[in-house]
Structure 1
Amino acid sequence: MYAACHSSPAQPSESLIKSICNPESTEFVSAATNWECSHEKDAREIYCETLRTMHENFAVDDAGFTIYPEYPLFGASPDAFVSCDCCGQGVLEIKCPYCIRSSTVILDPSLAWKTLIMGKN
């Protein structure tokens, strides 16, 4: 948006026009982005299988870009919306970091949620 607003109408940037009209041609691709894209579905399935056993009426709904109603200039694009009878509603944001692709993470169910997710006590 910034580039479009600050481009000269008399001499628009060719790369800007290409990025607006054909965004796939300017998509960033690397080993890290390929890794994340190819593992996101698996991560989501494992997450859902695990949480279904721990929560009452656990549900996951796909999410797209969601605009904040009170401030329509702001929005977010979580991977999904989650809900259950015991905890209420939340969002799911999946990350599959390339830098830890070879590690094995073992979660201890006795730890608090924020310890498991964020590594904090």
Structure 2
Amino acid sequence: MSVVIVGLDQVLRDLAGAPVRVERNTATAVAVTARKVQQGARDRIAGHKYLPQYPAAISYDVRHTGLGVEAEIGPDKGRPQGALGNIVEYGTSKNAPLPHLGPALEEQAEDLAHGVEVAVWQAMP
């Protein structure tokens, strides 16, 4: 008894390229979510009397690491008022916190999970 499988070579080639496609698609999902978190945080803190330049200091970077893709979102300390990030988000003994980054991230968590799921499905042949 013998079994002949037709087309298996193509399936194997398609699957071999899946990791590259997953990483590329996941990077796109992470970048889109990072941009949404950035904008959400900016919207939440905009218009504060003593922080006129702070919203523009909120930025993001997406990096490929050995373990996958990650994004860093928050105030850039090199921009005007960017060094105030921890004080603004968490407050001090004399200033109440103004949570904006945490809530913006929580708001996008489900969207990121969906984006990664789509990225994986799109990577499959």
Q: TM-score range by the shorter chain?
A: 0.3 to 0.5
Give the structure-2-normalised TM-score. 0.32
Query: Which one has a larger percent helix, Structure 1 or Structure 2?
Result: 2
Give the structure-1-normalised TM-score. 0.33
Larger Rg: 2
